Structure 1
Amino acid sequence: MSGPGRPQRFLDIDVNAGFDRKVRFSVVVLRKSISPLRSRSMGHHRDVLDDRSATSLFRLCVGIYFIGGFTNALVGLLVPRLRLLLGLSHTHALMVQLAFHSSYLLFALPITAILVRAGYMRGIAAGLSLMAASGLALAVATSTLHYAGVLLALLVLASGVTFLQIAGNIVVPVVEPMARAVPRMTMLQGFNSLGTVLAPLVGARFLLQSASTSTSSLWAALPFVGTATATAVLAIAFISRRNLLRSIGRPRRASAARLSDILSNRRLLAGSAAIFCYVGAEVTIGTLLVEYLTLPTVLALSPVEAGQLVSLYWAGAMIGRFVGARLLVGRSPARLLLAAAAAATLLVLVSVAATGPVGAIALLAVGLCNATMYPVIFALSLPDDMSTAPYASMVLCMAVVGGAIVPFATGVAADAFGLTPSLLLPASCYVVIILFAWLRQRTMPLHVGNPA
């Protein structure tokens, strides 16, 4: 904790104090840079929400974190559905992820500008409204097997998700006191993981059973209609509480010169490359797992059974967050990231070389290795200058476009060399993360300052 005579800085936080410290580090940076915060030593403080309003905001955020995770995992099931019904190549089927994740690159900057101008609550409501409308459009396109319509609806859907990704990640730490923000952010991440676990269990019966039998195609529209309905209800809730954060104020704008400085930061650029590779590998494996598990040389499951088994991949990520939080206590986050990335690389290589249950278990277990990668990479990538944190966060969010490019490139490789050999591409992504973790481990002191 910083002394009474000076403001708290990055170097006053023990980077080895565990995952909760890394989350706390991000919270400190975002709170101090987005809001007009002053040092206590200067006799000023930042207003926070009262308990009742903060609890109301938290409950609303539970909905957006859950629906965001559910939507992401549900979209992944469209790839095997389109391959089964339209006979698409891997390249064309994986354009689903290209359309969905490219929004992070295309829309991150304008969406950040909208959030700065309109505020968090109105921005989140706008994103949810986009998701609800595009969800209905996706339901129609999916049931009628209109391929171009599916891609267009996904692009609009993903623009709404980008609102949630940028605003939802920072709104709670901005308005909450530190002691309450950290556990609530951890719990919100748990609801996001819960959504990714439930989506394959629920969605596989609707999307993949109707693809493998004569069941009406309208059956496939139900998950998206249900998701659109839930999102519309959330949008109405946010609109009705649009003035909840009036006492907090809006985020501050950054000049073009400041943005140029952010983009030239080497640590941020290296972290962006790691985020790009992490999201790309995670989405690729999660998307291709259904087809991999149906291979005669692996488990020879039906599409529905394989789709439901994919929930174990996402459940591994959920469990791994809690396990990783314990493992990070008193240990270097860069070292744990290196170990997780190395384990993920090894498991993917095993799934390429092995057959039967061994290959299936190895690829499903990669989800466990993915668990803490995003928050650790994110925290290790932020510049020391806290005033640049919101826009540095935007740059890191833009790197999520890896979820568009890596799956598409893997699809091209799968069409040329086969599904199993194409998994070497996501394996190489984890090698990039290993390199990033190794470099950060060398440049980051073992103990910096006093634990907060």
Structure 2
Amino acid sequence: MANMAPSTASSAARNAASAALQQEGGAAQSNTSPLVIVTILFFMWGLITSLNDVLIPHLKAIYTLSYVQAMLVQFCFFGAYFIVSLPAGALIRRIGYQKGAVAGLLIAAVGCALFYPASSSGYGLFLFAFFVLASGITVLQVAANPYVTVLGAARTASSRLTLTQAFNSLGTTIGPAVGGLLILSAVGATADVASVRVPYLGLAGALALLALLFWAAKLPQIADSDDVAVAGEGHGSAWAHKHLVLGAIGIFLYVGAEVSIGSFLVNFLGESQIAGLAHADAARYVSIYWGGAMVGRFIGFVVMRAVSPGKTLAFNSLAAIALVLAAVFGQGSVAMWAILAVGLCNSIMFPTIFSMALHGLGKYTGQGSGILCMAIVGGALVPFAQGALADSLGVQLSFLLPAACYTFIFYFGAKYASMYAAR
């Protein structure tokens, strides 16, 4: 009997390991459907966000705005992230991730519907509509990003979030082309603000339908873990984790740089020394900028399974700095394609910074997600600052500001790479 005990224990261990592997495989399979459903959300808010790049030059021409005044669109849109993110985090904790996503979709639908009365009113109501629309998208962001990070192994969270963000980029790629076709080319020489009515009413209907589908969908309930895995850091709140704070700064500067470049692309490509394109023609090239991010995210999904997220982030940020500087100091097709290629470098930045910043927060993951989504306010402030530079120095030189933003992102990636290797 004594000799049989080790054999019995070994057999039991093998059986337990086998059961664990089967359970892990089943969990991976059961997570596929939720990931597909959540990915639809990423696509929709990508499409809606990139439409701003088409509307900004359109509204600038209609209302005879300066660059700073035109950037109030992004100020109101991304300003909503700062105001709404923490309340959104509290809402998600109260009603859950799935119902939170439904609430976000309905709020965004209301924002899109407000474009109809705004088209017969004035610029102020448009700005309010942008704020309401972005408030809904903020709730979606707070719910969906951490949801993706926990639907699978922690070590592949960056890769998984990069994959879903690739479909967000598919939306941002399609958005400018659709907007250019339905909004810019429809008005021709006589700019008419009424051209936004049909596209945005269609978006309102699509978002309302998605809300209904998400309400009926059977998704797993995700709860924040009570564990805090990062050693050597205070655990009183998410703010006590240094990598989260640095990540929030990184999100602020990354979103600011990405949105600034997209916001000024139509005007940049219209400059005589660059390409001299009409707005409707330039809008098609904006899709190339966002399309590069989509392609890069599919590549990043594979690369970051072998290369550390920090090293990948540092490499991409250095490449982005070089390309922006080429656009600032170059001319013609060199400058045009350099700035468009920045989209490829942007590809993995947001999901990588986001997942790195949330790493090991445990029960503070929800709070951390809210903080990171607040940092998206960089998309409001950096374009506004670049607008001031464009009014005073010109559009081309104003792109030095995004180049400076990528410098900090390089620092964050390099710092995280060393920390990651040490753990």
Contact 2:162 2:297 in 1 (8 A): no
Asked if residue 76 in structure 1 is aligned to residue 53 in structure 2, the reply is yes
- Could you say what secondary structure the match of 1:310 adopts? helix
- Could you say what secondary structure the match of 1:405 adopts? helix
Contact 1:116 1:252 in 2 (8 A): no
Asked if residue 87 in structure 1 is aligned to residue 64 in structure 2, the reply is yes
Asked if residue 233 in structure 1 is aligned to residue 209 in structure 2, the reply is yes
Q: Distance in 2 between matches of 1:206 and 1:358?
A: 29
Q: C-alpha root-mean-square deviation of aligned residues, in Å?
A: 3.1
Task: Give the alignment partner of residue 64 of structure 1, picking from 23, 41, 48.
Answer: 41
Q: Distance in 1 between matches of 2:58 and 2:235?
A: 41
Which residue in the other structure is 1:330 paired with? 306
5+ residue gaps, structure 1, are 1-39
Q: Distance in 2 between matches of 1:418 and 1:68?
A: 31
**C-alpha distance after superposition, 1:388-441 (max 9, x if no partner):** 223222212211111111001111111111111111111110111122223333
Contact 1:341 1:369 in 2 (8 A): yes
Asked if residue 417 in structure 1 is aligned to residue 393 in structure 2, the reply is yes
Pair member with larger Rg = 2
Which residue in the other structure is 1:199 paired with? 175
Which residue in the other structure is 1:170 paired with? 146
Amino acid at match of 2:254: Y
Q: Could you tell me how far 1:107 is from its partner in structure 2?
A: 0.8
Which residue in the other structure is 1:299 paired with? 275
Q: Distance in 1 between matches of 2:256 and 2:222?
A: 35
**C-alpha distance after superposition, 1:176-201 (max 9, x if no partner):** 68899998755533321111111111
Asked if residue 248 in structure 1 is aligned to residue 221 in structure 2, the reply is yes
Asked if residue 364 in structure 1 is aligned to residue 340 in structure 2, the reply is yes
Which residue in the other structure is 2:8 paired with? none
**More helix per residue: 1 or 2?**
2
Asked if residue 132 in structure 1 is aligned to residue 105 in structure 2, the reply is no
Q: Distance in 2 between matches of 1:216 and 1:388?
A: 48
Q: Could you tell me how far 1:317 is from its partner in structure 2?
A: 0.4
- Could you say what secondary structure the match of 2:421 adopts? coil
Contact 1:204 1:308 in 2 (8 A): yes
The two structures have a TM-score, normalised by structure 1, of: 0.80
Q: Could you tell me how far 1:260 is from its partner in structure 2?
A: 5.3
Asked if residue 399 in structure 1 is aligned to residue 375 in structure 2, the reply is yes
Q: Could you tell me how far 1:215 is from its partner in structure 2?
A: 6.5
Which residue in the other structure is 1:390 paired with? 366
The two structures have a TM-score, normalised by structure 2, of: 0.85
Amino acid at match of 2:83: L
Contact 1:293 1:299 in 2 (8 A): yes
Which residue in the other structure is 2:14 paired with? none
Alpha-carbon distance change, 216 to 91 in structure 1, aligned in 2, over 3 angstroms = closer
Which residue in the other structure is 1:144 paired with? 120
Q: Distance in 1 between matches of 2:84 and 2:213?
A: 24
Amino acid at match of 1:267: H
Contact 1:117 1:250 in 2 (8 A): no
Task: Give the alignment partner of residue 112 of structure 1, picking from 89, 107, 112.
Answer: 89
Contact 1:49 1:176 in 2 (8 A): no
Q: Distance in 2 between matches of 1:433 and 1:177?
A: 25
Contact 2:296 2:347 in 1 (8 A): yes
Which residue in the other structure is 1:209 paired with? 185
Contact 2:296 2:344 in 1 (8 A): yes
Alpha-carbon distance change, 323 to 116 in structure 1, aligned in 2, over 3 angstroms = same
How many residues are matched?
398
Alpha-carbon distance change, 410 to 339 in structure 1, aligned in 2, over 3 angstroms = same
Which residue in the other structure is 1:102 paired with? 79
Q: Could you tell me how far 1:75 is from its partner in structure 2?
A: 1.9
Q: Distance in 2 between matches of 1:172 and 1:439?
A: 24
**C-alpha distance after superposition, 1:354-390 (max 9, x if no partner):** 1111100000000011111112222332354433223
- Could you say what secondary structure the match of 2:44 adopts? helix
Which residue in the other structure is 1:188 paired with? 164
Which residue in the other structure is 1:222 paired with? 198
Alpha-carbon distance change, 195 to 381 in structure 1, aligned in 2, over 3 angstroms = same
Contact 1:49 1:175 in 2 (8 A): no
- Could you say what secondary structure the match of 1:399 adopts? helix
Q: Distance in 1 between matches of 2:304 and 2:213?
A: 37
Which residue in the other structure is 1:341 paired with? 317
Alpha-carbon distance change, 59 to 380 in structure 1, aligned in 2, over 3 angstroms = closer
Contact 2:317 2:345 in 1 (8 A): yes
Alpha-carbon distance change, 307 to 438 in structure 1, aligned in 2, over 3 angstroms = same
Q: Could you tell me how far 1:320 is from its partner in structure 2?
A: 0.8
Q: Distance in 2 between matches of 1:182 and 1:176?
A: 11
Alpha-carbon distance change, 370 to 179 in structure 1, aligned in 2, over 3 angstroms = closer
Contact 1:279 1:402 in 2 (8 A): yes
Q: Could you tell me how far 1:119 is from its partner in structure 2?
A: 1.6
- Could you say what secondary structure the match of 1:445 adopts? helix
Q: Distance in 1 between matches of 2:402 and 2:152?
A: 38
Amino acid at match of 2:46: G
Q: Could you tell me how far 1:334 is from its partner in structure 2?
A: 2.0
Which structure would you say has the larger RCO, counting Cα contacts within 8 Å and 6 or more residues apart? 1
Task: Give the alignment partner of residue 315 of structure 1, picking from 283, 287, 291.
Answer: 291
Q: Percent identity?
A: 37
- Could you say what secondary structure the match of 2:243 adopts? helix
Q: Distance in 1 between matches of 2:60 and 2:276?
A: 17
